[in-house]
Amino acid sequence: MTPAQIERFFAILQAANPHPETELEYGSAFELLVAVLLSAQATDAGVNKATRILFPLARTPQQMLDLGLERLEAAIKTIGLYHSKARHLLQTCRILVDEHGGQVPRTRAALEALPGVGRKTANVVLNVAFGEPTMAVDTHIFRVSNRTGLAPGKTPLAVEQKLLERVPPHYLLHAHHWLILHGRYVCQARKPRCWECAVAHLCDWPDKTPAPSKTT
């Protein structure tokens, strides 16, 4: 995509959704961190179902530690990877209490030092909780960036760096959510809905999937 096409790409996504937000449910920076940590290889809907059970039981790092591994696992069991997520979350809470006064740290280095928190999760927290123009490249953004030709790359980090170069600064703060929502609802992994895609005319992908016929 040319710079002019990229500008149009985001202008169209912005027009369709002027104020995009995460679909994860949270009421504090800590709850956001927990929700994003739990969201690895899980759907937002599934994470919300679990945190509706978990957060009333524990809304702070100390409360999470008091809850304990058994009850934490029970609360999040419907998500995949629950054993390692529960263990990492408690290790993270221990560090938050001991080293950060129970607060969520605001630097990439401190965030990535938390067990279960990698580059993508740190980028989401920096963007959503602290308003920094980071680009968290998840499965949706990786797919959309490569499929459309917006920012092709072999690894999530390569795509992230290319997006930071190519996305106009004006769109950078919300580009993350526009791309996620586009990937989740239109540019889907298995069956992209090209026939109802507002940016299909800017897309490199050769297979412009036709609309399903109505079998009349």
First vs last Cα of the chain: how many Å apart?
A: 38
Find out whether 136 and 123 touch, Cβ atoms under 8 Å: yes
Q: Which one of residues 67, 75, 117, 202 is an interface residue with DNA (CB under 7 A)?
A: 117
Instruction: Pick the piece of the chain touching DNA (CB under 7 A) from 62-70, 74-82, 99-107, 166-174.
Output: 74-82
Q: Which one of residues 54, 61, 89, 120 is an interface residue with DNA (CB under 7 A)?
A: 120
The answer to whether the annotation marks 93 as part of a ligand binding site is no
How many other C-beta atoms can be found within 10 angstroms of the C-beta atom of residue 59? 15
Q: Which one of residues 143, 163, 182, 186 is an interface residue with DNA (CB under 7 A)?
A: 143
SS (H, E, C) 98-152: HHCCCCCCCCHHHHHCCCCCCHHHHHHHHHHCCCCCCCCCCHHHHHHHHHHCCCC
Find out whether 212 and 26 touch, Cβ atoms under 8 Å: no
Instruction: Pick the piece of the chain touching DNA (CB under 7 A) from 1-9, 52-60, 97-105, 133-141.
Output: 133-141
Q: Per CB under 7 A, does 109 bind DNA?
A: no
Footprint of DNA on 77-96 (CB under 7 A): 77-84, 88
Q: How far is the CB of 166 from DNA (least distance, A)?
A: 19
